[in-house]
Amino acid sequence: MNVELPPTIRTVLESQILEKYPLSALTQAAGEVSSRYRREGQGHNFQITSEVEALSYLAARMPATFAANTMVMSAIAKLYPAFAPTSVLDIGAGPGTSTIAARQYFDSVETAQLVEPNYHLKKAGVDYLSAPLGNVTWTAGKLEEFKTQNAHDLVIVSYVLNEIEPKKLGSLVEKLWAACSGVLMILEPGTPQGAGVIQAVRDLAITQNINILAPCPHSGECPLAGIETRWCHFSVRTSRSKLHKVLKGGDAGFEDEKFSYIVLSREATTPQKYRIIGHPSGTKLREVQVCSPNGAETLQVSKSHPLHKLSKKLEWGDGFDL
């Protein structure tokens, strides 16, 4: 799946950033953030420490995180077409990327509460993204101590829970669910560690009989759990601008963002029978890796198979029924 940050947002954002800081300063800041990330990981010790770091991080990461959020929202819309959220709660909002994705995808969104403890990321959102963010309120403080007066239709927790101490994860997820009146969507990096966080949330949801909207086609044991060489994750592609290429230190015109996710819903929904968990391959004989109630399996789809024509259009992450 290809998802692009709307050109009107990207062009204005990048021009404003380049007006504020020279490319050399942004490149240096991006390198420092990247080095710190590799050294400390995206845990509770990882911090953005200045405005120029926040803006370089925004230019380098916003397109990919926007794309991942949008792909998850498309899965929500497919399985729950009546869902029309008016209020959003964005936990660990950063500069507000997930909220912008929600506004772009769901025309129904009216208000949003963004919780972000990092001053520089919050300020970047306020100063540079106020137009696409629309009617929002910002809240500071520790993520696990967030407060909200009312439950929200859509609660988003994007690339956040891996920052939380494991012993606090269960209570935080319960608090997030209590703040949700419709759908809770959680994304993590598409790494074994990120998938492990999603697995822990899934286990909690099953224990508490919470409806899993996506991506799981069943509520049985995850067939990829405990396998060192495989984990449940997905991929979305987005293009790179000239600035994006420089900050990422590469010439490729695109970026593939790998992520893991889970969506919980107050509304009982019917899951699709299959979820594609790898790139389909082959031409005459298509091989489609799927997760189903039967576990992880590879469907062999010949040209005579009813699924063959459809399989050419299906991508990693899609769900379908036979």
pLDDT tens track for 267-300: 999 989 999 999 988 878 889 999 999 999 998 8
The 8 Å CB, 24+ separation contacts for 132-136 are: 132/6, 132/9, 132/100, 132/103, 132/104, 133/96, 133/99, 133/100, 133/103, 134/103, 134/109, 135/110, 135/111, 136/96, 136/99, 136/111, 136/112
Pick from 25, 162, 187, 20: nearest CA to 101: 187
Give the E-state strand segments of 53-102 in sequence order: 87-91
In this prediction, residue 310 has a pLDDT band, given cuts at 50, 70 and 90, of: confident
Can you give the pTM of this predicted structure? 0.94
In this prediction, residue 42 has a pLDDT band, given cuts at 50, 70 and 90, of: low
Distance (Å) of CA 187 to CA 91, 160, 299: 11, 8, 27
Domain locations along the chain:
7-270, 272-322
Mean pLDDT, residues 250-277? 94
The per-residue pLDDT of the chain, averaged, comes to 92
What DSSP string describes 234-249? EEEEEE--HHHHHHHT
The CATH superfamily label for domain 7-270 reads Vaccinia Virus protein VP39 (3.40.50.150)
Q: Give pLDDT, residue 54.
A: 96
